Structure 1
Amino acid sequence: MDKSFKRSAIFVTFTIFFFTPVSISVPFIHLHGINDQCSSVEARSFTQLLRNLSSSPGYCLEIGNGEKDSMYMPLMQQASIACEKVKQMKELSQGYNIVAQSQGNMVARGLIEFCDDAPPVLNYVSLGGPHAGISIIPKCPAGASYPLCQLQETEVYSDSAQEISEYMEHSKFLPKLNNERPNERNSTYKERFTSLHNLVLVMFEGDTIVVPRETCWFGFYPDGATAPLLPPQKTKLYIEDWIGLKTLDDAGKVKFVGVPGDHLEMAHDDVVKYVVPYLQNQLSFSS
């Protein structure tokens, strides 16, 4: 065989081998809710279920010591810790998906909006997230003096939800997360949120913990009132596009999903239908 032909054949083989596009599954992280931890049976089982159903690598991301810190650590600090952990995980360096439960969605959005120099979040699946806040504190009676109830009032939750001026002055996290303060709006938060490929907002139609349940879709009441309940498209957050929800929705990237059941009681078939498809995307690169 002609030597030049042999060299050409070897070169072609080399080129094909080293420059063939390769696809890998996008990894995901699971962020649990309040009063939970990654080592709990429920959290471990859910993370493993998502791994099995999607065939994608997945990790439950723990903040601090888990259960206790999920209740008492300020959410801004939780988001900051999550940010540093994500940046240190080489498995996530090319991009990742998020599945968050309940209050874990506050950490998830903090990751997306606030985390500098982080790998991109591609798909974000929110399960029962109190995105627009809630109107009553879960399991806390009116006027309760329990430390946890008092702590919650300074973060996402408030038993005087429609005292807007006090909320804007004293709430440390949600107004920043939702870009609500007119003089402090940050275009970077919006830019990062609108970079999502898909945003899946799952509301539990029998939810007795997150009230109103429509907050899981960014729906809430008008300022200063407790009625009527506004759908997300009628809120100022959406109309004025504070974080880019309208931009994502106009692009067909938002899925508003309602499922039967109380808070986080999601049927297996609904997990398969509404969660798993957003954990099966692929990253492509040349080998």
Structure 2
Amino acid sequence: MVLQSGIFCILADALIRSEIYSDYVQAHLAPSGYLKFPNDIPHYLEKCRFLPKLNNEIPQERNTTYKERFSSLQNLVLIMFENDNVLIPKETAWFGYYPDGAFEPIVPAHQTVLYTEDWIGLKALDDAGRVHFVNVSGGHLGISRSDMKKHVVPFLVDEASIQKHSNARVHGHPRTITQHYHRKQVAGSFIDETSNERILDGSSSYQWPSSVKNFFRELVGIAEENDSD
């Protein structure tokens, strides 16, 4: 099985490299829609089925609604993994990339045409202070629990202190799930609870926590209290 999988990957890789923007490859190999070769921009814009549209790169087909919705995000957290070998270059995670026609040097996000002409609303978001560029150690998606709590959790809560109550019944007994938090308080509350344990490692062998619901409840600090009424 390993040998067969290896041969298939080699053949698929050769096919992608030789005819990446052909109708056949674009229709049958999903990753081909995400690949942008800087030395073949005309074919990329004409034939690549996904990424040019996602990046609003096609001049006559730019989606203003998409740009408006993207720029209306409250926060955009862009996480670059230091040892990422899936996104090439790794700066792609921050919207950096190669210049058209060459594989070097890497152009920082703020210097790309996508940013300066604001095709997707990234510049508008950044000017408003709502883009957060984060760099962490590890491979592709290999984020640790401590980094998740430090860089992601604070943006999962509202700007102001909020209190939410929802009634639920477990085995016939009502209970109240109460959330008390503020963005700054949440960030500070994890100082003594951080861990370098990898909660995602980007590999197919990764096992999700037994309860995703409980996992995220733990991350954002939701306390469950029995309803005394």
Q: TM-score band (shorter)?
A: 0.5 to 0.7
Over the matched positions of the two proteins, sequence identity in percent amounts to: 52
- State which of 51, 60, 66 in structure 2 corresponds to 1:174: 51
* Unaligned 5+ runs, structure 2: 1-8, 164-229
Within a 5 Å distance, the mapping from 1:107-256 to structure 2 comes to 144-145=14-15, 150=25, 151-152=29-30, 154-158=32-36, 160-256=37-133
Letter of the structure 1 residue corresponding to residue 149 of structure 2: V
How many residue pairs get aligned? The number is: 145
Letter of the structure 1 residue corresponding to residue 114 of structure 2: L
Matched residue of 2:14: which SS? coil
- State which of 265, 273, 281 in structure 1 corresponds to 2:142: 265
- The Cα shift of 1:268 comes to 1.2
Partner of 1:19: none
- The Cα shift of 1:154 comes to 3.8
CA–CA distance in structure 2, aligned partners of residues 222 and 195 of structure 1: 28
The answer on whether the counterparts of 2:82 and 2:137 sit within 8 Å (CA) in structure 1 is yes
Letter of the structure 1 residue corresponding to residue 105 of structure 2: P
Deviations 1:131-168 (A, max 9, x none): xxxxxxxx76895248xx9414541125x443000000
CA–CA distance in structure 1, aligned partners of residues 126 and 152 of structure 2: 18
The answer on whether the counterparts of 1:153 and 1:171 sit within 8 Å (CA) in structure 2 is no
Matched residue of 2:134: which SS? strand
User: Compared with structure 1, are the counterparts of its residues 182 and 157 closer, same or farther at alpha carbon in structure 2 (3 Å cutoff)?
Assistant: same
- The Cα shift of 1:282 comes to 7.2
* Unaligned 5+ runs, structure 1: 1-138
- The Cα shift of 1:210 comes to 1.2
- The Cα shift of 1:188 comes to 1.1
User: Compared with structure 1, are the counterparts of its residues 141 and 234 closer, same or farther at alpha carbon in structure 2 (3 Å cutoff)?
Assistant: farther
TM-score normalised over the length of structure 2? 0.58
CA–CA distance in structure 2, aligned partners of residues 219 and 165 of structure 1: 20
